[in-house]
Amino acid sequence: MKVYFDNAATTRLDPEVLDAMMPLLTDNFGNPSSIHGHGRTVRSAIERARKSIAGLLGAAPAEIFFTSGGTEADNTAIRCSIDTFGLTHAITSPVEHHAVLHTLEHLQKLGHIELSMVRLDADGCVDLEHLEELLRTKPRSLVSLMHGNNEIGNLLDLQAVGELCETYNAIFHSDTVQTMGHYRHNVQELKTHFLVGAAHKFHGPKGVGFLYVRPGMRIMPFVHGGSQERNMRGGTENVYGIVGMARALEIAYRDMDQHQQHIQELKQYMIGQLRASIPDVRFNGLSTTADQSLYTVLSVSLPPSELNDMLLFNLDIAGISVSGGSACSSGSDVGSHVLGALNVAPERGNVRFSFGKYNTRAEVDYAVATLADLYKKEVILG
């Protein structure tokens, strides 16, 4: 049996999305910057996609800029807002995605900014009182905090952080890669200046994403070249990727309630099965708290065992695709910075199961039975 539980890394392309992309891969091959008919046809497809994504977010089309993915969108928001507005201080957390964390650490190393880390509680949640303290002492900061953590699933209260940033005149960028297409974002209600999306996280194609920029926040470009994206991002557009992304987001919004219920039920079922099958199983962050964690992510902490060093390998041999994260790795001091920040015991085995709309209860049963069998063998052999 082949089982895929790594949807937080990437998702399977939806057949409806492929159907939308095919004409751009075959017949409509013109360069969208060309003024002839072939180019105009493709340009129209890009602008329809922009209008569709904007409409779903409650934004205007002029506020959506297409990128190569979430990493470029994050880098654009961070680096260009710092450059454009002359910011000298940024606030983030120790559990951010490396697209954010490494970018800010690099800018600090270059001497461009002073970087502050907001405190986290024992579950990995942002301490809002400490965030306010940092904002009070360092006015006009850039705040970069993710909406949904890709490893442990914790959700950030975007509204609360946005209100704090508004109070202290801070610029708020949120990495929404893991929540885009899984939760509804209405930029008319949120107080964020930048949001990002990556198509392959919601059953669209890889290599394409977008950046939402709030009106009045015009920033200088990150990628220079041609005049594409209204002089905001040089380079010929990934046309079929953009069209596929828009279609994927349309489908995600259309079917969101149904898929959320299906995936949440699978997640809760797996939690119950793991607790019943493996003694001393634990869960990292707020993975088991339905209203405070991504319904697509479950971070599992398994009992100390020599098996843990080869756990992902053994699961892969059994046909189960998952991601891991351990506070430290055997023979190396490099591990998950997220679990390290939570002080997860290094001898425990940590596995991230991330769910999608194509997963089934039978797949959960197989994954749990495989894990339980591995640990039973370890107990017998030990």
* pLDDT (mean) for 312-320: 96
Q: What CA dihedral angle connects 168, 157, 356 and 76, to 10 degrees?
A: 0
* 8-state DSSP, 320: E
* pLDDT (mean) for 163-168: 97
Within 13 A of 176's CA, how many CA atoms are on the CB side? 27
Residue ranges of domains in the chain = 15-254, 255-381
* pLDDT (mean) for 362-375: 95
Q: Are 70 and 198 in contact (CB under 8 A)?
A: yes
- Nearest Cα neighbor of 293 from 161, 153, 199 is 153
Per CATH, 15-254 and 255-381 having the same topology is answered: no
Q: Domain 255-381 is of which CATH architecture?
A: Alpha-Beta Complex (3.90)
Adjacent-strand bridge partners of 119: none
Q: Are 264 and 290 in contact (CB under 8 A)?
A: yes
Q: Answer positive or negative: Cα dihedral of 125, 74, 165, 256.
A: negative
- What is the bridge-based pairing of β-strands 3-4 and 320-321? parallel
Residue 379 reports pLDDT greater than 70: no
Given pLDDT bands bounded at 50, 70 and 90, which one contains residue 327?
very low
Q: Are 97 and 336 in contact (CB under 8 A)?
A: no
Residue 173 reports pLDDT greater than 80: yes
SS3 198: strand
Determine whether 328 is an active site residue.
yes
Within 13 A of 32's CA, how many CA atoms are on the CB side? 22
Residue 20 reports pLDDT greater than 90: yes
Task: Say how far apart CA 235 and CA 291 lie, in whole Å.
Answer: 41
Q: Does domain 15-254 have CATH number 3.40.640.10?
A: yes
CB-based burial, 2-26: b 16+ in 10 Å, e otherwise = ebbbbbbebbebbeebeebbeebee
Question: How much is the pLDDT for 328?
Answer: 41
Residue 330 reports pLDDT greater than 70: no
Q: What CA dihedral angle connects 291, 269, 259 and 246, to 10 degrees?
A: 80
The secondary structure element, H or E, covering residue 174 is: strand 171-174
Within 10 angstroms of residue 219's Cβ, the number of other Cβ atoms is: 21
Question: How much is the pLDDT for 377?
Answer: 66
Task: Say how far apart CA 37 and CA 92 lie, in whole Å.
Answer: 47
Q: Which carries the bigger pLDDT value, residue 34 or residue 294?
A: 294
Question: How much is the pLDDT for 326?
Answer: 47
Residue 80 reports pLDDT greater than 70: yes
pLDDT digit string (tens) for 247-282?
999 999 999 999 999 999 999 999 999 999 999 999
* pLDDT (mean) for 298-327: 88
pTM listed for this prediction: 0.94
Question: How much is the pLDDT for 14?
Answer: 98
- Which of the following is catalytic: 80, 125, 165, 328? 328
Given pLDDT bands bounded at 50, 70 and 90, which one contains residue 65?
very high
